[in-house]
Amino acid sequence: MAIIAANLQAVRERIAHAATAAARAPASVHLLAVSKTFGAAEVTAAWQAGQRAFGENYVQEAVNKVTALADLPIEWHFIGPIQSNKTRPVAEHFAWVHSIEREKIAQRLNDARPAHLPPLNVLIQVNISGEASKSGVAPGAERALATAISRLPRLRLRGLMAIPEPTPDVTVQRARYALLRRLKEDLQADDAGIDTLSMGMSDDLEAAIAEGATIVRVGTAIFGKRQAVHSEA
Ligand SMILES: *Cc1c(COP(=O)(O)O)cnc(C)c1O
């Protein structure tokens, strides 16, 4: 578990270096530790090393972890695909959802958000690398979804998220993230509450920060390589 603290420190240094290189304040980039497939012990080790926000992809796995770690005031973010029959546990256990791509899911999250909790922070996922297989709305389609979400009182639209197809080409990484930044700036012109760009992972967080990421989602560089491929029950 000592390795998790050392890895976290290394990731924080990468973030600070990338922010400084982009003439940004390091504190303007928030680190989301992606703990999918890892257990409560690994999350606790990261917590003890000062990490406060964690991201999860699989509803049942996540709810088990959130429940086991209820004593720690962790900020939980849901970043995986959401099926419509899983919206209630997501609305009940998370502070943020990064992966909104359909109005129906937004409506169901709104309806299930408990009254004693603040509105759920949500991001619209945009497909910025264009393959048919990947999730997210097509660039341009985020506007209509943003308008629909703005009518839902129990959701608070904060911005955009993307998971581009991996590429080692930094120029391509930058171009895709620049596209997401421009889409976010367009939304921001109409809605001052938009302040978040969730983009960048273990292998490309520097390019994302150069293009304005405010949340980077990092798993492998903190917790190590994930073992099994997970499937949702
Ligand atoms: C798994 C995952 C990550 C973390 O990816 P790493 O390459 O391990 O840093 C980030 N975002 C999403 C949506 C993920 O599913």
> Tell me, what CATH number does 151's domain have?
3.20.20.10
> Does residue 68 form part of some domain?
yes
For residues 29 and 60, the answer to whether their CB atoms sit within 8 Å is no
> Does residue 57 form part of some domain?
yes
> Does residue 230 form part of some domain?
no
> Does residue 233 form part of some domain?
no
> Does residue 229 form part of some domain?
no
Q: Whole-angstrom Cα distance, residue 170 to residue 208?
A: 10
> Does residue 78 form part of some domain?
yes
Full-model pTM: 0.96
DSSP 3-state helix, strand, coil percentages of the chain (rounded to 5)? 45, 15, 40
Name the domain count of the chain. Answer: 1
Q: What is the pLDDT of residue 2?
A: 86
**Per-position DSSP letters for 144-198, written without gaps between them:** HHHHHHHT-TTEEEEEEE--PPP-S-HHHHHHHHHHHHHHHHHHHHH-TT--EEE
Atom 6 (ligand 1): residue with closest C-alpha? 219
> Does residue 172 form part of some domain?
yes
Q: What is the pLDDT of residue 233?
A: 40
pLDDT in tens, 89-101: 999 999 999 999 9
pLDDT in tens, 164-183: 999 999 999 999 999 999 99
- The parent domain of residue 88 ranges over 2-22+29-223
What residues contact 225, with CB distance under 8 A and at least 6 apart? none
Question: Using a CB cutoff of 8 Å and minimum separation of 24, what contacts does 110-115 make?
Answer: 110/152, 110/153, 110/154, 110/155, 111/154, 112/87, 112/88, 113/154, 113/155
Atom 10 (ligand 1): residue with closest C-alpha? 217
Which ranges of the chain have pLDDT less than 70? 132-133, 228-233
Q: How far is CA 221 from the centre of its chain?
A: 16
Cα 217 to ligand 1 centre (Å): 6
For residues 198 and 123, the answer to whether their CB atoms sit within 8 Å is yes
8 lines ligand 1 (CB under 6 A): no
Cα 115 to ligand 1 centre (Å): 31
For residues 149 and 155, the answer to whether their CB atoms sit within 8 Å is yes
Count Cβ atoms below 10 Å from residue 157 Cβ, excluding itself. 25
For residues 97 and 121, the answer to whether their CB atoms sit within 8 Å is yes
At 45, which amino acid appears?
A
Q: Whole-angstrom Cα distance, residue 146 to residue 149?
A: 5
HSE-CB at 213 with a 13 A cutoff on CA atoms is 31
> Does residue 120 form part of some domain?
yes
Cα 9 to ligand 1 centre (Å): 18
Structure tokens at 108: 């169901």
Cα 172 to ligand 1 centre (Å): 19
Structure tokens at 162: 């993307």
